[in-house]
Amino acid sequence: MSPTSRSERRSRSFKPDRDVVEWHGAYVRYDLVKEFLVALGVVALLVVLLTVAFSSPDETPVTVRSWSTNNPVDFAQTAITELDGTSESATYGPPYNTGSNDTQSIGFFSPEKWVGVHIPINTAQDFVIGPLRTLPDRPDVRAALDRYQAAPASQQQAWTAAYEKAVANATFSNGVLHVAPGSYGPVGAIIGDLTSMARSGALDGALVSSKQFYSTDYTKPLLFIADGNYLSDLAGAQHLQGNQWGMMNETGNYPGQAWLWLYTLWYQVPPMNSSSSGDLQVWAIMMLLSLVMILVPFIPGLRSVPRWSRVYRLIWRQHYRSLATAPGASAKT
């Protein structure tokens, strides 16, 4: 330390919550590498033992195929909303489309609107028409699609509205979706063929296909599945929904990411539990709390809490006990 810095330090007033008294006592050798290796070994052993005793269940992943197999009626009811553009994904808004159904904001602060559409998705084309056109040797499917796309928008809307009303009472038996007869034009055939395609597993592949060597973008199938009731019902049965503290839960009765309690807590209290901008509000609260935590050393009063509470004496009680019994120890440290 330079003479100048020593003089500056002597002239500056001592602040107990910011400055540290120079240590004049004894020093003890501490092997940090040994301590690290011992801790690493103990933690690794505990992880192995606890994994064997309390491992999480290996639940089968939800796919479009499993959805359409286990609940084909719900799949068909969702597929028609994708075709007519009334599903949640179709009206979601940025980053998928220009809708505003799920756009969140706090006053002027709206990151979704600022960033805009950068993952464009047209549910009718991407979830229904496009995948069906990939089916080989199916002239009947292509003819139904051609007829639907050639019709005026008003006619398309009339067909889909009639079918959407009828499919609410649909049944499924012997591998066939049964819907009461009506003026659906080619829509009935389109949804029926899409249901068969989904049950075969071909729709899963069509939704993730891309020009990339590895198809790892599951945005489309995830949005499609989330638009239906099947995934929501599964999540409710496994206590994974937001109002069930789902961010902290594993499937079944297994504990999950318990350290996320502070984040998921805000979803259970007003106004976040009923606000259309709840996600953004929770994010803002957590960013504010994180900023306060980062700036604790610079916030007068708050940074003094450890000194006032004297909790450090409890943590280092052995050290202070040894100081108290040392020759010449002061009554107060």
Query: Any idea how long the chain is?
Result: 333
DSSP code of residue 244 = G
Q: Which of 25, 14, 22, 2 is nearest to 328 (CA)?
A: 25
Question: Which residue's entry shows tokens 């901008």?
Answer: 277
Q: Give the separation between CA 17 and CA 108, rounded to whole angstroms.
A: 39
HSE-CB for 87 with a 13 A CA cutoff: 29
Write the secondary structure of 8-63 as one string of H (helix), E (strand) and C (coil): HHHHCCCCCCCCCCCCCCCCCCCCHHHHHHHHHHHHHHHHHHHHHHHCCCCCCCCC
User: pLDDT value at position 6?
Assistant: 54
Pull the structure tokens for residue 61.
């992943």
Of 148, 186, 184, 153, residue with least CA distance to 166? 184
Give this prediction's pTM: 0.77
pLDDT of residue 262: 92
CB 132 within 8 A of CB 193: yes
DSSP conformation letters of 296-329: GGGSTTGGGHHHHHTHHHHHTHHHHHHHHHSTT-
Retrieve residue 211's tokens. Answer: 């020009």
Neighbours of 95 (CB within 10 A): 14
Contacts of 160 (CB under 8 A, 6+ apart): 80, 83, 84, 187
Per-residue pLDDT of the chain (333 residues; tens, 9 = 90+): 555 555 555 566 777 666 777 778 888 888 999 999 999 999 999 999 988 887 777 788 999 999 999 999 999 999 999 999 999 999 999 999 998 888 899 999 999 999 999 999 999 999 999 999 999 999 999 999 999 999 999 999 999 999 999 999 999 998 889 999 999 999 999 999 999 999 999 999 999 977 666 678 899 999 999 999 999 999 998 888 888 888 888 877 677 888 899 999 999 999 999 999 999 999 999 999 999 999 988 888 888 888 888 888 888 888 888 877 766 655 454
Structure tokens at 258: 């318990």
DSSP at 259: G
Instruction: Please calculate the CA angle 268-273-275 and round it to the nearest 5 degrees.
Output: 160
- Rg, Å, the chain Cα set: 31
Q: Please report the beta strands in the chain, taking only residues with DSSP state E, as ranges in sequence order.
A: 171-173, 176-178
Which residues are within 8 A (CB) of 64 and not within 5 positions of it... i.e. 6 or more apart?
A: 75, 198, 203, 204, 207, 221, 224, 225
SS3 content of the chain, % helix, strand, coil (to 5): 55, 5, 40
Query: Of 249, 285, 245, 236, whose CA–CA distance to 265 is shortest?
Result: 245
pLDDT at 10: 56
The answer to whether 166 and 191 are in contact (CB under 8 A) is no
